[in-house]
Amino acid sequence: VSDGGNKKTSRVRVAVRLRPYMGKQDEKGEGPCVRGLDSQNLEIINWRNATETVKYHFDVFHGEQTTQQEVFLSSVKPILSHILNGQNASVFAYGPTGAGKTHTMLGGSEQPGVIPRAVREVFNLVKAKDEDEGWDYSIGMSYLEIYNEKVLDLLSPSSQDLPIREDKDKNILIPGLTHITISSFSDFDKYFVPASLNRTTASTKLNQRSSRSHAILLIKVVRTQRAITHRQQTGKLYLVDLAGSEDNRRTGNHGIRLKESGAINLSLFTLSKVVDSLNSGTAGRVPYRDSKLTRLLQDSLGGSAHSVMITNIAPEYKYYFDTFSALNFAAKSKLI
Ligand code: ADP
Ligand code: MG
């Protein structure tokens, strides 16, 4: 991460991932409306004039052929070593519902995504640490959801909205959040899989709640120095499957859905402002406190933290306007 010399905060890397075309034949049989050009550039057809395209440039562009392994190696693996040294990191999947956020973050048993790969890698990195360096490592996890601006513990489903606090060293804490020490990947799986299933099952009953909440997995690495002082350092890794970025106003939501939409818009809009102010390096206030999502991530986004946002997009025409706004969000977030 380049800080450009005297800037205090690190920037957020912005990657875009285009999923394969899945439309049989779109309404008018148009085929894909987005096309990759190379490893940093893509184009989208101009809505008003289909003979023209609008081009975008990003830190990384992952085309539709990109494998889960390639996404992990290029966008996520490089930041993992930092959390063993007491630094924080975050990985977000952003984009409209149906564009591949959950595929990217979670994946399936055949094609595991960022989450299982990152957790395995953290265990490998700890295992490979040299005894002689004099630190003992411990790995733990929490898993939560932000839904309607409420912080909910997915490892303790009956819990109520949890508070977000900051300690004197500006670390963000969530008192009452379940934290489980895990000793292996299968240990992780044992807690994570049922909690994820809970979330998916609830989603079919509750209007696809999973696309309307932010799912946040926290992996915490604590290291303790064996020497007399027993100095401790904590590194946090947040792996976030964000709520769908589609414009909910267009679909004419009422009541509870309208309230959900307001909460989603608030948190994603605030996230965009936070990323924008971090990446533009302007001296202004970073508006972390304007939403639960950004407040919770405050110590792991910006500052000395290492962050990457993977913007997922879909090539079919029915996603056109959501793709366009996701690309503009990502393009704006990119450092110029
Ligand atoms: P989101 O979480 O953003 O709503 P999903 O991850 O559920 O989207 O993806 C929607 C559908 O597209 C799923 O059936 C998923 O398996 C498929 N999909 C997404 N990305 C890819 C990809 N890169 N390759 C193959 N299938 C994909
Ligand atoms: Mg999803």
Residue 212 DSSP symbol: S
State pLDDT tens for residues 219-241. 999 999 998 788 999 999 999 99
The model carries a pTM of 0.92
- Ligand closest to Cα of 110 equals 1
Query: What are the residues facing 45 on neighbouring strands?
Result: 53
Please report the pLDDT score of residue 249 as a whole number.
61
Specify the residue with its C-alpha closest to ligand 1, atom 12. 100
Is 97's C-beta closer than 6 angstroms to any atom of ligand 1? yes
- Ligand 1 pocket: which of 16, 17, 19 to mutate (most atoms <8 Å of CB)? 19
**Ligand 2 centre distance from Cα of residue 228 (Å):** 47
Distance 74 CA to ligand 1 centre (A): 19
Going from the Cα of 100 to the center of ligand 1, the distance in angstroms, rounded, reads 4
ipTM of the complex: 0.99
pLDDT tens readout for residues 139-176: 999 999 998 899 999 999 888 999 999 999 899 999 99
Q: Which two tokens stand for residue 174?
A: 């969530």
Q: Which residue has a Cα nearest atom 5 of ligand 1?
A: 100
Mutating to test ligand 1, I would choose from 70, 75, 103 the residue with most ligand atoms within 8 A of its C-beta, which is 103
- 102: which residues sit within 8 A by CB, 6+ positions away? 93, 113, 210, 241
Q: How far is the CA of 63 from the centre of ligand 1 (A)?
A: 14
Closest ligand to the CA of 101:
1
What is the structure's pLDDT at 278? 86
Pick the residue whose CA is nearest to atom 20 on ligand 1: 100
150-159, 188-197, 301-310, 325-334: least confident range:
325-334
Cα-to-centroid distance, 99 and ligand 1 (Å): 6
User: What's the rounded mean pLDDT across residues 63-80?
Assistant: 97
Alpha helices in the chain (DSSP H): 68-71, 77-80, 101-105, 114-127, 185-205, 255-280, 292-296, 320-333
Pocket lining: 62 vs ligand 1, CB cutoff 6 Å: no
Question: 20: Cβ below 6 Å to ligand 1?
Answer: yes
102 CB within 6 A, ligand 1: yes
Ligand 1 pocket, residue 69 CB under 6 Å: no
Instruction: Confirm or reject: Cβ of 294 under 6 Å from ligand 1.
Output: no
- State how far the Cα of 41 lies from the Cα of 174, in Å rounded to an integer: 40
Q: What's the average model confidence in pLDDT over 245-272?
A: 74
Report pLDDT digits (tens) over 24-42: 765 566 789 999 999 999 9
Closest residue to atom 10 of ligand 1, CA basis: 98
Distance 314 CA to ligand 1 centre (A): 9
Give me the mean pLDDT over the 211-222 stretch: 94
Q: SS in 3 state form for 154-176?
A: CCCCCCCCCCCEECCCCCEECCC
Count of beta carbons in the 10 Å neighbourhood of residue 16:
29
Q: Which atom of ligand 1 is nearest to the CA of 105?
A: 6
| Adjacent-strand bridge partners of 138 | 222
CB under 8 Å to 51, separation ≥6 — which residues?
Answer: none
